[in-house]
């Protein structure tokens, strides 16, 4: 008996997606509710699960194809009858791949081949760049698939052991030049459009300050073990900055507001979008009601989103809304940046790396762990005085965390 696999509901106002990866190939057995394909929408990746157990007999769309909700993209043969399905069944029999589609196969599941030909484009480029044999990498992605982060970690381990990490391309003749064309994912296209739109439609300006991290680092080092033991999550810096941001947004409501048409919408709640890195690009899931959350609640929410982003399991609901954004470029070593707001929000806080620098305290030059922080804002709604005051409030709360306890 044949069962059709259809594109599921993708979320409010989302009617189409792109085939990002086929996780199962024709002839392979599938279990009930096992992911067989990954779809890319404007915001997140969504997996298509098998409605029945059996054997995947046909793929009716190719990687890169645009499909609509309820469209049939595959056929599964149920039960023993499906076991006779030919393993060599040609994919995309009913829907030939577009000329511009990148010739990329699905990423391997646990136990499958890790030949570069079946890795995702980002992983394949990383493998070539770092000169790592994918067969030696243990995938941490869903179903054991190799992610770009796995390749980078393997390269770092190899470098630490003293082994050379020369990419295979280096051995090519000196006069040989190569190019690879990979179609932009739907998510990357959306990111590009939104960032460009923010530059064109908002009056962007950035104000800077620096923060002495001594007090927060001391508090974190003092309580991190007991905090993790009690709450089951590590105490990081993001919860401190989220709490400090709440103080600033409550004091300066314009920084937490949005322009809608010819009106300004002020919020009496704080939903913070936290920028996290996902395999397909930067995403900003929303931690809701941060003003009512504890440090542990904030850390747990951020940790959960980070895990879901790595697995590619963020939902549309996770990404919807947000009144303010925090982006931490410091985890990648960034010293200073001018972050771009996340429309329709009006401001974004950029965090950067911590480094020891000489500063003057009480007339003496001393060494302190310092961080540059930046607040980019829409000058149409936020005045310079308000932006500077908000950033100064965040700075003061971080330098004296007691303010976070007494709401000062």
Considering the four listed CATH numbers 1.10.3720.10, 2.60.40.1180, 3.40.630.30, 2.40.50.100, the one that applies to the domain covering 1-101 is 2.40.50.100
Structure tokens at 152: 């980078």
pLDDT of residue 224: 92
Distance CA 109, CA 38 (A): 13
**Element at 248 (helix H, strand E):** helix 238-251
pLDDT of residue 122: 63
Average pLDDT, rounded, for the chain:
82
**Element at 206 (helix H, strand E):** strand 204-212
pLDDT digits (tens, 9 = 90+) for 246-276: 999 999 999 999 999 999 999 999 999 998 8
Structure tokens at 231: 């709450």
CB distance 30 to 54 below 8 Å = yes
188-406: CATH architecture: 2-Layer Sandwich (3.30)
| Bridge partner list, 210 | 372
Lowest mean pLDDT among 31-40, 113-122, 292-301: 113-122
| Active-site residue identified among 225, 289, 383, 400 | 383
Confidence bin at 149 (pLDDT 50/70/90): confident
Listed by start position, the domains of the chain span 1-101, 102-183, 188-406
Q: Has residue 300 got a pLDDT over 70?
A: yes
pLDDT of residue 350: 95
Pairing verdict, β 263-265 and 258-260: antiparallel
Residue that wins the pLDDT comparison between 330 and 338: 338
**Rounded (5°) CA angle 369-338-322:** 95
Rounded average pLDDT over 24-36: 88
Residue that wins the pLDDT comparison between 131 and 320: 320
| Residue ranges with strand state E in 213-323 | 258-260, 263-265, 272-274, 276-278, 281-283, 286-287
Distance CA 88, CA 383 (A): 64
Confidence bin at 214 (pLDDT 50/70/90): very high
pLDDT digits (tens, 9 = 90+) for 160-174: 666 555 444 445 566
Q: Mind giving me the DSSP string for 169-186?
A: GGGS-TT-------PPPH
End-to-end C-alpha distance for the chain, whole angstroms: 67
Rounded average pLDDT over 6-33: 82
| Active-site residue identified among 225, 379, 400, 407 | 379
Distance CA 33, CA 169 (A): 40
DSSP assigned state of 326: E
**Element at 3 (helix H, strand E):** strand 2-6
Distance CA 174, CA 396 (A): 56
Q: How many residues does the chain have?
A: 408
Residue that wins the pLDDT comparison between 173 and 234: 234
CB distance 332 to 351 below 8 Å = no
Phi-psi region of 362 (alpha: psi -120 to 50; beta: other; left: phi over 0): left
1-101 and 188-406, same CATH topology = no
Q: Is the peptide bond before 344 cis (omega within 30 degrees of 0)?
A: yes
pLDDT of residue 84: 39
pTM beyond cutoff 0.85: no
Q: Among 44-48, 170-174, 208-212, which range has the highest average pLDDT?
A: 208-212
Lowest mean pLDDT among 52-66, 120-134, 307-321: 120-134
| Bridge partner list, 22 | 37
The residue behind tokens 């993708």 is 10
Active site residue 352: no
């Amino acid at each position: 008996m044949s069962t059709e696999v259809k594109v599921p509901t993708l979320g409010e106002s989302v009617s189409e997606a792109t085939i990002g990866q086929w996780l199962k190939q024709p002839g392979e057995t599938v279990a009930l509710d096992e992911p067989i394909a990954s779809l890319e929408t404007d915001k997140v990746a969504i997996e298509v699960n098998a409605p029945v157990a059996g054997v995947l007999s046909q793929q009716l769309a190719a990687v890169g194809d645009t499909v609509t909700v309820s469209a049939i993209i595959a056929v599964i043969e149920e039960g023993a009858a499906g076991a006779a399905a030919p393993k060599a069944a040609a994919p995309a029999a009913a829907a030939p791949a577009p000329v511009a589609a990148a010739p990329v196969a699905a990423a391997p599941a646990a136990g499958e081949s890790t030949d570069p030909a079946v890795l995702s484009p980002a992983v394949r480029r990383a493998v070539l760049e770092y000169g790592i044999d994918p067969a030696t990498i243990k995938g941490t992605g869903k179903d054991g698939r190799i992610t770009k982060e796995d390749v980078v970690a393997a390269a770092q381990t190899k470098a630490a052991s003293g082994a050379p990490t020369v990419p295979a391309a280096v051995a090519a003749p000196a006069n040989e030049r190569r190019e690879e064309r990979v179609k932009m994912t739907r998510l990357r296209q959306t990111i590009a459009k939104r960032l460009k739109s923010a530059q064109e439609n908002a009056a962007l300006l950035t104000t800077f300050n620096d923060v002495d991290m001594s007090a927060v680092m001391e508090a974190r080092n003092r309580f991190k073990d007991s905090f993790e033991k009690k709450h089951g999550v590590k105490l990081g810096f993001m919860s401190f900055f989220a709490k400090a941001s709440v103080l600033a947004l409550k004091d300066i409501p314009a920084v937490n507001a949005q322009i809608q048409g010819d009106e300004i919408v002020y919020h009496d709640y704080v939903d913070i979008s936290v920028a996290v890195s996902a395999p397909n690009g930067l995403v900003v899931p929303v931690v809701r009601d941060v003003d009512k959350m504890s440090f542990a609640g904030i850390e747990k929410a951020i940790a959960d989103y980070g895990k879901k982003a790595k697995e590619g399991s963020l939902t549309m609901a996770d990404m919807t809304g947000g009144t303010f954004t925090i982006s931490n470029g410091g985890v990648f070593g960034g010293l200073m940046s001018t972050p771009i707001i996340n429309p329709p929000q009006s401001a974004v806080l950029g965090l950067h790396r911590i480094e020891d620098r000489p500063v003057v305290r009480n007339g003496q030059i001393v060494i302190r762990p310092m961080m540059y922080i930046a607040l980019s804002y829409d000058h149409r709604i936020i005045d310079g005085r308000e932006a500077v005051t908000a950033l100064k409030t965040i700075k003061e709360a971080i330098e004296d965390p007691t303010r976070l306890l007494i709401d000062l």
